[in-house]
Chain A
Amino acid sequence: MNTDFAQSARVFWSSAVIAKKALFAWLRPSLWLMQLLTMSLFQIAMFWYIAQYVNPERSLDYVIVGNAMQSIAYVAVFAVTNITGEEKEAGTLPGILVTPANRFAMFVGKAMFQVLNSIATVAVAFVYAIFVFGLDISHLNLVTLAVVIGITSFATVGFGLMLSSLGFYLRTSMIVANIFLFIGLLFCGVNFPVSVLPEFLQPISYAIPMTYGTDAARHAVEGMELSDPVMLGLLGSELLVAAVAILVGYFMMLGFERLARRKGTLEMF
């Protein structure tokens, strides 16, 4: 039991380290930095201007916080969803799957660098939110916001891992990654409350961790304590949804792997 755990922990750690090294072997650090510094800026700007045009009288803080949080999607959803697809395109997926290493530890490990990347992305987004877009931080509870960003990063990466399992079977995970990259803008209460959506669509919103994360971040900006029951409820729900997503993703991964082996589609892209 202890040996199994130690092996899984080693696989987890080495996968995380290799994923980080692989990213920078392929992507120039300057380009990574450019992405980190520009993605959130233009996303917030876009909706900030639209909100200003639609209703200049209304506070723009709702849209600013929503988009600052949603900027995580490029890293936590898009990059993580593409993990399996990229292995397939690089021709390394069969090689990985023939190893006896624990799949769960390996793929969760591969996504871990993206948790740090997500935290950095949202931190940069909030710097823009405050200094460029004039977010009102007079009541900000910084500790609560930091915890919300950390938990949302973990939870969204977990959600991305679930989507990533589709890459075992589909010819490309890029299509799924693109769909879920933007779908959060519609479902997660980023630019308008979830209640605005038709009732039959609202359950989708509550099946995505980001919905709780954006709501929690707005409360943190308004000064809510971490110990507040509303905050605990939001963060608890977010973690629960993420845990379910990871678990479902794991079983999907096993199922799709079996299916791909049987149909001989593991290397098809």
Chain B
Amino acid sequence: MPRLRALTTSFRHQAMHFLSDPGWLIPNIIAPFVITLVVLLMYREVTGPVVLYAVLGGGMMGMWGNTLYASGFSIQSERWWGTIEAVLAVPSSLIWIIAGRTIWNALIGVVNGLLILLIAMVAFQVPLDIADPVMFLVAFFLTLMSLASLGLLFSSAFVLTRQAGVLTNGLEFPIYVGTGCLFPIVLLPGWAHPLSLVLAPTWGIDAIREAAGYNPQGIWGTVMPAVGQGAFPFDLAIMALLALAYLAAAMVLFKVVDDKARRTGELARV
């Protein structure tokens, strides 16, 4: 019960922070938004459902951009404000506090993702014909949860370093490339496929495209040909398993990081 209280209070605290300065949504959304526009302009000679491919990828990038920045800066900001030691000194475990923030950030990630889809639809007249809206929403929600658990995993590392901002910027493009948001991962070299496949969002975007009804060169038809196309439930199952694995790893790492931060006494170094 105290854990749940820590989680809900931290969620509310993060919401208040966000509402007091919503301009922070801009850094989170600008990269995915601009990249989606760039890609739509690169796709200008192509017509038909292929444009939907780019728009869905852009939505996924929007969610990831938000999760990554929010995970990195929720710790870094505490350092700047001089409050990080107080946060670590409270009896609640740090993971529940960060988890509350991550869940709020994930919810804002939905706004990011939907905003990108909406702008693309209006500005570029992209028809968002979703083949299976229910499955689409399920895949969208589960992808968001998997991104949140990945964000939680990265957060543990961000506690240790005062260079979280550098890492945050550095992790943006590798995840876009690795997950194949805007191109099929079969184009990546063979040695990179396992790296892509251990990223839950890779399965998430595959599931979202399957549900939307346009997934040429999807994972199951190319990198994992054994099952064949249309393996939507497998996408969701693997994504959920990976998200649980991230969560378990994050719980262990937060314990290690908490202990190390207390021993070295360098937690508050800006």
Contacts and interface: CB of A to CB of B under 8 A. Distances in A.
A70 B263 CA distance: 42
Interface in B13-27: 21, 23-24, 26-27
A178 B26 contact: yes
Nearest to A63: B42
Interface in B139-170: 162-163, 166-167, 169-170
Interface in A178-197: 178-179, 181-183, 185-186, 190-192, 196-197
B166 A186 contact: no
A125 to B, nearest CB: 13
Given A39-B173, A90-B270, A183-B34, A28 B187 contact: no
Nearest to B73: A174
Contacts of B174: 38, 42
B195 interface: no
Of B23, B26, B27, the most chain A CB neighbours within 10 A belong to B27
B173 A43 contact: yes
A45 interface: yes
Contacts of B106: none
SS class, residues of chain B in contact with chain A: helix
A28 B42 contact: no
B39 interface: yes
Interface residues of B, number: 35
Interface string B101-135: 00000000000000000000000000000000000
A185 B42 contact: no
A182 B166 contact: no
Given A49-B183, A49-B188, A50-B42, A39 B170 contact: yes
B44 A196 contact: yes
Contacts of B45: 54-55
B46 interface: yes
A182 B31 contact: yes
Given A27-B166, A178-B26, A185 B38 contact: yes
A1 interface: no
A35 interface: yes
A168 B70 CA distance: 25
B234 interface: no
A27 B163 contact: yes
B41 interface: yes
A42 B174 CA distance: 6
Interface of A: 26-28, 31, 34-35, 38-39, 42-43, 45-47, 49-55, 74, 78, 89-90, 171, 174-175, 178-179, 181-183, 185-186, 190-192, 196-197
Given A42-B174, A190-B38, A192-B44, 14 more contacts: A35-B166, A35-B169, A39-B173, A42-B176, A54-B43, A78-B169, A89-B80, A178-B26, A178-B31, A182-B31, A186-B38, A191-B42, A196-B41, A197-B41
